[in-house]
């Protein structure tokens, strides 16, 4: 029976490349001289630091531009409020990977509402869609691409 998986995976190699590019730009740009602005990856996701809130937000914009140029969707990012401690301002950017239970239920519900002859089931951080007809599976992919779900989706393991 043909099937495919709906997943949400972050291309970490592209995120690392964007971080490197943003770091180089922050070092070279005149408006960031002396602001101690930097971007880095940590266990929580990404961290943007600078000596003022405005410079931290500007550094975040630079990072977002670099991610967009490398075709990394900004839907993966969950930007928290800036935190000022002493002389530095930090912005924690959490990176969402995988499909959470609530979003998976929404995806399964949309598939059922579309009245296509496919079955959808939640498995860990992905949704498996199976059907008898390959055309129904492709129609499901098109429907999910058109839906505004607030998360970036990829379609993998398409099997006949």
Q: Are residues 61 and 89 in the same domain?
A: yes
Number of domains in the chain: 2
- Can you tell me the distance from the alpha carbon of 72 to that of 21, in angstroms, rounded to the nearest whole number? 14
Report the CATH number at residue 80: 3.30.70.990
Per-residue pLDDT of the chain (160 residues; tens, 9 = 90+): 888 988 999 999 999 999 999 999 999 989 888 888 899 999 878 999 999 889 999 999 999 999 999 999 999 999 999 998 888 999 999 998 888 888 888 888 888 888 888 888 888 888 999 988 888 888 898 888 888 888 888 898 888 7
Put residue 46 in one of left, alpha, beta given phi > 0 → left and psi -120 to 50 → alpha. Answer: beta
Q: Are residues 24 and 72 in the same domain?
A: yes
At residue 123, the pLDDT reads 86
Q: Are residues 90 and 137 in the same domain?
A: no
At residue 16, the pLDDT reads 93
Report the CATH number at residue 130: 3.30.70.860
Q: Among 95, 116, 147, identify where a domain stops.
A: 95
Q: Which of 3, 136, 16, 1 is nearest to 67 (CA)?
A: 16
At residue 47, the pLDDT reads 92
pTM of this structure: 0.83
What is the chain's Cα-based Rg? 20
The domain of 137 spans 3-8+99-159
Q: Are residues 80 and 106 in the same domain?
A: no
Q: Are residues 84 and 27 in the same domain?
A: yes
């Amino acid at each position: 029976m043909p099937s495919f998986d709906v997943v949400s995976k972050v291309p970490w190699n592209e995120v690392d490349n964007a971080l490197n590019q943003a770091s180089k730009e922050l070092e070279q740009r005149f408006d960031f001289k002396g602001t101690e602005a930097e971007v880095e990856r940590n266990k929580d996701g990404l961290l943007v630091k600078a000596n003022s809130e405005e410079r931290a937000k500007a550094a975040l914009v630079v990072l977002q531009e670099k991610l967009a140029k490398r075709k990394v969707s900004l839907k993966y990012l969950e930007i928290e409020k800036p935190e000022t401690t002493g002389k530095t301002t930090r912005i924690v950017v959490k990176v969402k990977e995988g499909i959470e239970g609530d979003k998976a239920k929404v995806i399964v519900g949309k598939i059922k509402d579309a009245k296509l002859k496919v079955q959808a089931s939640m498995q860990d951080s992905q949704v498996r869609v199976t059907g008898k007809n390959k055309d129904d599976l492709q129609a499901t992919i098109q429907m999910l691409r058109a839906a505004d779900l607030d998360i970036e989706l990829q379609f993998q393991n398409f099997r006949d």
